[in-house]
Amino acid sequence: MSIQKNKPKKSGWNSLRGLFSLIGASKTLYILSILALAVTVALEMSGFLVIRHVVDKVIIIKKGIKPLAFWAGIFLLASLGRGFFSYLHGKGKARCAETVTRQIRNGLYDHMQRLSFSYHDRSQTGELVQRATSDVDEIRRFFAEQIPAVCQILFQFSINLAILLFLEWRLALLSIIIVPVVGGISSWFFFRIFEAYDSFQDQEGHMTARIQENLSGIRVVRAFARQKWEIEQFREINREQLKRGLKLTWWNSFYWPFGHILCGLQFCLTLLIGGYMAIDGAISPGTFIAFSSLVNSLIWPMQELGRTMAELSKSHVSYQRIRVILDEEQEDLISGNSSDEIHLKGDLEFKKVKFGYTENLPVLQDISFSCPRGSKIALLGTTGSGKTTLVNLLPRFYDYTGGEILLDGEPLKNYSRHMLRRQIGIVEQEPFLFSMTVRENLTYSVDRKVSQEEVEAAAKAASIHHSILSFPEGYDTMVGEKGVSLSGGQKQRIAIARTLLKDPRILILDDSTSAVDADTEARIKKAMNGLMKNRTTFLIAHRIQTLKQADTILVLDKGRIVQQGSHEELIRRDGFYKDVFRLQTRMEEELQEELQAAGAV
Ligand code: ADP
């Protein structure tokens, strides 16, 4: 499901106010930078008054070079002042915009780290990436470009108008009759662009998600030779992106010619009437020249208004897209028993536990069993029977909805998620390693300083030490794209060593690996045995050899426990476990026979 669905529809003003509130502590600097902009614009506009004065009082009456040089000096000073204030403005706004962007990006990243598992289940990684990058960048542009542009337009317009009114008020009023028309068109345009951009960004989110998913699953794509299908799917998405992009540009291209024509008409009118007044002697030639230049610079901000409004609507969209994420409730990590002093013993009891990802669809029902400290519980069942869901309740990735889980005699929900996750270790079926060095990956599980001896001891216990030494830079070798590619078995043993360093009281192991050779399997098994010692362990497994070592085996089917007992007990009863046992034993016997036959030849 896309993360766009539960989007709050906020009014434009609320959203703008929200956007402004992001400025926070940089407010004063930002206001100062906008004031510097006002001074820059005022100095620029004053140049037209100098021109008027020079034409009327120096050139026409041929006053000589001295006054000309004087006014040229004034002009130069004004230009220097303009340059200086423009520098202050540019520096101030850039600093504020970068600070705000950094804060939003940090805040968003922080927030994403604390969102619930169910939120991440619902959202696509690519879309989240897009919001943390391109949408955040749009907010930067709001402060660095759009607000200064709006202010510049307002300053230019009001200063210009004031000068025009001062020069000749009737002509000035004539020059602004177009303003309400441009304003009306710009607002209408704002909403069209808003819709078009929202839809464009949405599609870009889909596209980013698609690329991200495809690249993460590139092996699957290749293995099933689905490249052609994937390319076709991507082209389809890209075609839609083009369609929406063209719509966005269409609104832009539609607006500009319209604006040009309107403003051109306005200028013609001023030229005709102003020119006539100058011929008639109602205004001086200097006033006429200054007037026509000023009218020209009055028209530019009006045209710019449309473009800036369109840009503003983009920030408005991006802000809402970010707001949707920030409004999502964070996972409560700390409430409950959270003391660092607690050392779990690992006694667990499930009493009629019930859980469903959605309200009306139970995934686990009536789960009851007990698990004394240090014991091993194995879970067996077909895919989708609820094994992963069951173990995910322990670190409170999801909270059970009925019954009770008791940990050391206390309801699980009384413990904080943070504390539980610190004391529960998980080795996934396909462990995720980060693009960092082997050592950094190993010590990722603990937030204290770990000595090299400790790291090596964990790696030795997980039977991975020698493999690590054979890497080009040993423990400093980079993992992933920039370094070595690890085999599935190596990754799993690094994950085991990582969990060993964490030294958890409760352990969750997903031992569903089947595609490893006998030698690797023996190593993994050895590593796992070391890890399980003296810890309450939940083991998801399919092989009888692994299941056998558990104190209790739970057979799950459609979210219910259908069989429960030790290996010896279960092979004596008819049911799923006995069937699996028979099947695997027969397969092994056949394999042995084949090997012997091959050996005999
Ligand atoms: P197993 O580990 O035995 O293969 P799971 O616990 O992964 O089974 O899945 C049990 C059921 O819950 C399946 O029907 C699966 O589709 C569903 N399920 C698993 N994870 C989620 C999730 N994050 N959101 C919604 N349904 C899920």
Q: Which of 388, 399, 554, 560 to mutate to test the pocket of ligand 1 (most atoms within 8 A of CB)?
A: 388
Asked whether residue 582 carries a pLDDT value surpassing 60, the answer given is: yes
Token representation of residue 191: 């909403």
Q: Please report the atom of ligand 1 found closest to the CA of residue 379.
A: 3
Residue 377 has pLDDT above 90, yes or no: yes
Average pLDDT over residues 376-382: 92
Query: Residue 8's Cα: distance from chain center in Å?
Result: 18
Q: Which residue spans within 28-135 are E strands per DSSP?
A: none
**Mean pLDDT, residues 465-471 taken together:** 90
Whether 441 contacts 433, CB under 8 Å: yes
Q: What is the mean pLDDT of residues 189-202?
A: 80
> What backbone torsions phi and psi does residue 558 show, to the nearest 5 degrees?
45, 45
pLDDT exceeds 60 at position 410: yes
205 touches ligand 1 (CB under 6 Å): no
One-letter amino acid at 564 equals Q
Condensed to tens digits (0 to 9), the pLDDT of residues 292-326 reads 887 777 777 776 777 787 778 788 888 888 888 88
Q: Which atom of ligand 1 is nearest to the CA of 559?
A: 10
Residues in the chain: 601
> Pick the residue with more confidence: 518 or 448?
448
Of 274 and 90, the structure prediction assigns the larger pLDDT to: 90
- The residue with greater pLDDT, 185 or 137, is 137
Residue 6 has pLDDT above 50, yes or no: no
Partnered with residue 379 across adjacent β-strands are 540, 554
Atom index in ligand 1 nearest the CA of residue 556 equals 3
- Residues 417-438: what's their mean pLDDT? 88
CA 420 to chain centroid, in Å, comes to 27
Cα 23 to chain centroid, rounded: 20
pLDDT at 3: 45
Residue 389 alpha carbon to ligand 1 centre in Å: 6
Q: Which atom of ligand 1 is nearest to the CA of 398?
A: 23
Q: Which of 471, 474, 467, 457 is nearest to 492 (CA)?
A: 467
Flag whether pLDDT at 101 surpasses 80: yes
Q: Is 109 exposed, middle or buried (0-12, 13-18, 19+ CB in 10 A)?
A: exposed
Nearest to 427 by CA among 499, 481, 527, 332: 499
Higher pLDDT, 78 or 63: 78
CA-CA-CA-CA torsion sign (480, 484, 487, 493)? negative
CA distances from 67 to 54, 55, 242, 399 (A): 8, 11, 60, 85
Residue 267 has a pLDDT of 78
What is the per-residue pLDDT for 481?
Answer: 64
Q: Give tens-digit pLDDT for 11-51.
A: 556 667 778 888 888 889 999 999 999 999 999 888 888 88
Distances (CA, A) of 203 to 164, 239, 310, 337, 485: 47, 10, 19, 44, 34
Q: How far apart are CA 288 and CA 279, in angstroms?
A: 10
Residue 89 has pLDDT above 90, yes or no: yes
User: Is residue 514's pLDDT more than 70?
Assistant: no
Asked whether residue 367 carries a pLDDT value surpassing 90, the answer given is yes
Q: Is the pLDDT of residue 531 over 50?
A: yes
- Cβ neighbors of 129 (< 8 A, separation 6 or more) are 208, 212
pLDDT, one tens digit per residue, over 239-293 is 999 999 998 888 777 777 777 777 787 778 888 888 888 898 888 888 888 888 8
- pLDDT tens column, 335-355: 777 666 677 888 999 999 999
Quote the percentage of the chain above a pLDDT of 70.
93
Helix and strand numbers (H, E) in the chain are 22, 10
Residue 588 reports pLDDT greater than 60: yes
Question: What's the confidence (pLDDT) of residue 5?
Answer: 40
Atom of ligand 1 nearest to the CA of 358: 25
Q: Residue 215's closest CA among 126, 120, 321, 341?
A: 126
Question: Best of 367, 379, 389, 555 to mutate for ligand 1, by most ligand atoms within 8 A of CB?
Answer: 389
**pLDDT category, 85, cuts 50, 70, 90?**
very high
| Total-model pTM | 0.72
* Cβ atoms 552, 377 nearer than 8 A: yes
Please identify which residue in the block is written with the tokens 């031992």: 511
Q: Distance from the CA of 359 to the center of ligand 1, in angstroms?
A: 14
Sort residue 482 into left (φ over 0), alpha (ψ -120 to 50) or beta: alpha
- Kindly tell me if the per-residue pLDDT of 94 is higher than 90: yes
Is any atom of ligand 1 closer than 6 Å to the C-beta of 201?
Answer: no
Kindly state if the Cβ of 508 falls inside 6 Å of ligand 1: no
Question: What is the structure's pLDDT at 84?
Answer: 96
Nearest CA to ligand 1 atom 25: 357
pLDDT over 60 (residue 1): no
* CA nearest to 387, candidates 546, 555, 565: 555
Residues 428/510, Cβ–Cβ less than 8 Å: yes
Q: CB of 363 closer than 6 A to ligand 1?
A: yes
Confidence class of residue 516 from pLDDT cuts 50, 70 and 90? low
Residue bearing the CA closest to ligand 1, atom 26? 357
State the pLDDT at residue 455: 92
Tell me which of 363, 509, 556 to substitute to probe ligand 1's pocket, judged by most ligand atoms within 8 Å of the beta carbon. 363
Strands ordered across the beta sheet of 552-557: 424-427, 506-510, 536-540, 376-381, 552-557, 560-565
Rounded to an integer, what distance in angstroms lies between the CA atom of residue 108 and that of residue 138?
A: 14
Mean per-residue pLDDT for 408-429? 89
Mean pLDDT of 550-577: 92
Mean pLDDT (the chain, rounded) = 84
Residues 41 and 159 sit within 8 Å (Cβ to Cβ): yes
